[in-house]
Amino acid sequence: QVQLVESGGGLVQAGGSLRLSCAASGNIFTINTMGWYRQAPGKQRELVADITRGGSTNYADSVKGRFTISRDNAKNTVYLQMNSLKPEDTAVYYCNADVIPWGRGEYDYWGQGTQVTVSS
């Protein structure tokens, strides 16, 4: 089994910054893509950003230029630096990891979610 533990959410004023972290632990041989998704009330979960093991990144158009995703492969951890936050960034943010365990297979795991609230 694999656990993803997120931290760093909270309440911030518009224009402020937050940094999210997500650490994966458990039966991990390697992790391919890691990413952050978010879900606002009444809306579908959407991709915010993801990053491959080699460091290639992909961002939603709505966060380009404001958010930066990074990862530490040695620590099985992914980060999301969020700058110039807007009220529309308010959502529950979920970490996702594409894990290859010791053994066989490839599995998709989710964190429990962390609330980000941006006040106007």
Which pLDDT does position 103 carry in this prediction? Answer: 84
Model confidence pLDDT, tens digit, residues 11-41: 999 999 999 999 999 999 999 999 999 999 9
Which pLDDT does position 9 carry in this prediction? Answer: 94
Which pLDDT does position 99 carry in this prediction? Answer: 96
Which DSSP helix (H) or strand (E) runs through 99?
A: strand 91-100
Model confidence pLDDT, tens digit, residues 39-51: 999 999 999 999 9
CB 39 within 8 A of CB 46: yes
Q: Which residues contact 47 (CB under 8 A, 6 or more apart)?
A: 35, 36, 37, 58, 60
Which pLDDT does position 28 carry in this prediction? Answer: 95
Model confidence pLDDT, tens digit, residues 71-107: 999 999 999 999 999 999 999 999 999 999 998 899 9
Which pLDDT does position 33 carry in this prediction? Answer: 98
